[in-house]
Amino acid sequence: MKTIFVKPADVERKWFLIDAEGKALGRLAAKAASIVRGKEKAVFAPHHELGDYVVLINADKVTVSGRKYEEKLYHHHTGFPGGLKTQTYKELANRHPTAPVEAAIRGMLPKGPLGRKIFNNVKVYAGGKHPHSAQNPEKIDF
């Protein structure tokens, strides 16, 4: 049996819509990362960008369990000496409502150039409106 190599240009790519309202952050991010990566397709190859597009709405209404709302920490470095900055989930969500969801999805994708390219196929919006209605995204419930 021969190995089938699929060119990224030959793959049909769909658009999916996920409503994040009331969904757990980790489960939502895992589902979105799986779709964007292309793991749900029969032609999945770990070194190609074969996944679909995902539009996430209501990212500001995602839920976290336990005391994560006050205790979960997000770190980033400014690049200057002593520039490590730390925020809680609450502070980050108040400042940038989509940032926790984006960080969770980004963390589940491959690191490096392929992961950065794949992350461009994720569109996250805080409210219920999005500008991708022309693509007719298929709604996913899980």
pTM for this prediction: 0.92
Question: Under DSSP, is residue 101 helix (H, G, I), strand (E, B) or coil?
Answer: helix
Domain formed by 8-65+105-140, architecture: Alpha-Beta Complex (3.90)
Q: Residue 19 above 80 pLDDT?
A: yes
Average pLDDT, the chain: 95
How many Cα atoms within 13 Å fall on the side-chain side of residue 5? 2
The pLDDT assigned to 2 comes to 83
Percent of the chain topping pLDDT 90: 87
Provide CB contacts within 8 A for 5, sequence distance 6+: 45
* Count of beta carbons in the 10 Å neighbourhood of residue 123: 18
Percent of the chain topping pLDDT 70: 100
Confidence band for 6, pLDDT divided at 50, 70 and 90:
confident
Task: State mean pLDDT over 4-31.
Answer: 93
Written as six digits, the tokens of 115 are 């992961």
Q: Residue 5 above 90 pLDDT?
A: no
With beta carbons less than 8 A apart as the criterion, state whether 59 and 126 touch. Answer: yes
Q: List the domain boundaries for the chain.
A: 8-65+105-140
Higher pLDDT, 130 or 11: 130
Question: Tell me: the pLDDT tens digits for 99-128?
Answer: 999 999 999 999 999 999 999 999 999 999
Which residues is 76 bridged to in the sheet?
A: 85
Task: State mean pLDDT over 81-85.
Answer: 98
Residue whose structure tokens are 């589940």: 108
Confidence band for 77, pLDDT divided at 50, 70 and 90:
very high
- Helix (H) and strand (E) counts in the chain: 5, 6
Task: State mean pLDDT over 8-30.
Answer: 95
Which residues is 123 bridged to in the sheet?
A: 55
